Amino acid sequence: MKILKKQRLSEIVADEIKNYIKTQKLNEGDKLPPITSLIETLGIGRSSLREALQLLETQGYVEILNGKGTYVKHNKPFHIQTAFEIENERQFLLEVLEVRVALEGKAVDLAARKATQADIEKMEYHLKEYIRCINNNEREKANLSDSLFHQTIYEAAKNGMLKSIIDSVWDTFHQFWNEPFGIEDIFDKSYPYHEDMLQAIKDQDPEKANDAFLKIMDSVRTSIKDI
C-alpha cells in the first residue's frame, strides 16, 4: 500500500491558491485578491493564509510586496515534471537526499562566494525564527522558517537555472520531507551544523560551508536510517 501523507492546512491553502492562479489564468505581475477577501473565500485564519503565501513565495509562485499586495511571479524557466508511487518511505527519502546533496551542495558553494549582506541577514533571521518557533512549540512555523533559510541560500547562489531546478524538485518533495514517519523533530539534531554553515558563508569560505552542509546531510541520513 502507498504511504499517505497528511497535509498541513497551510499546504492545502497553498494548493488552493495555485489552483486559483491556474483557473483564473493569471499572468506574471497580476495581483491576487486582498488578504481579507482570501480569508473570507477560503474560510481560514490570517496566520494560515500568511504561512501559505510564504510557502508559495519560497516555491517561486508569488511575490509578496509589503504594503502593496501579493503578485503572481514569472513562470519558472525550467520545471521538472515528477510523479512517484511511494511504496518505501525510507528508501524514497534516502534517494531524495542524494539529489539534494548534489543540487543544494552546489548552491551552498556558490552562496559562500556570492552572498550579499542582505542575503546573510535573511538567513540569520530565518534561523533565529526556527529556534524561536521550536521553543514556543510552533512546529509548523519552525518547518517554514527552516525552508525559508534554505531557500535564501538558493537565492544567494545567484544562479537562476540552479534555483529553478531546486525549486521544482523541492515543490514535488515538500509534503514528504516534512515530518517523515509522522515524527516532528526527526531532523532537529542537524541544527548546530546550520549555524556552522551560516558562519562559513559569512566568512566567504566555500570549503567550510560545504563541510557543514555535508554534516547536515549526514545527520539527516542517520535520522532516516535509524527509524
Query: Average of pLDDT values for 104-127?
Result: 96
**Per-residue pLDDT for 69 more than 70?**
yes
pLDDT of residue 83: 47
Tens digit of each residue's pLDDT (9 = 90 or more) over 22-59:
888 888 889 999 988 888 888 888 888 888 898 888 77
Measured from the Cβ of residue 166, the count of other Cβ atoms closer than 10 Å reads 23
| Secondary-structure percent of the chain, ordered helix, strand, coil, rounded to 5 | 70, 5, 25
pLDDT of residue 73: 84
Cβ partners under 8 Å of residue 166, min gap 6 = 103, 104, 107, 154
Tens digit of each residue's pLDDT (9 = 90 or more) over 8-17:
777 888 888 9
**Per-residue pLDDT for 180 more than 70?**
no
Local confidence band at 2 (pLDDT 50, 70, 90 cut-offs): very low
Q: What structural domains and CATH numbers belong to the chain? A: 9-72 (1.10.10.10), 89-226 (1.20.120.530)
pLDDT of residue 1: 40
- Cβ distance 65 to 71 under 8 Å? yes
**Positive or negative torsion for Cα 206, 210, 216, 220:** positive
Q: How far is CA 51 from the centre of its chain?
A: 12
pLDDT of residue 9: 78
CA separation for the pair 203, 194 (Å, rounded): 14
CA separation for the pair 85, 150 (Å, rounded): 26
DSSP 54-105: HHHHHTTSEEEETTTEEEEPPPPS---------S-HHHHHHHHHHHHHHHHH
pLDDT of residue 127: 94
The percent of residues above 70 in pLDDT, for the chain, comes to 83
Tens digit of each residue's pLDDT (9 = 90 or more) over 130-155:
999 989 988 878 888 888 899 899 99
Cβ partners under 8 Å of residue 212, min gap 6 = 193, 194, 196, 197, 200
Q: How far is CA 192 from the centre of its chain?
A: 19
Which long-range contacts does 68-74 make (Cβ < 8 Å, 24+ apart)?
69/31, 69/32, 69/34, 70/31, 70/32, 71/29, 71/30, 71/31, 71/32, 72/21, 72/26, 72/27, 72/28, 72/29, 72/30, 72/31, 72/32, 73/28, 74/28
- What's 187's DSSP letter? T
pLDDT of residue 175: 53
CA separation for the pair 18, 171 (Å, rounded): 12
pTM above 0.85, yes or no: no
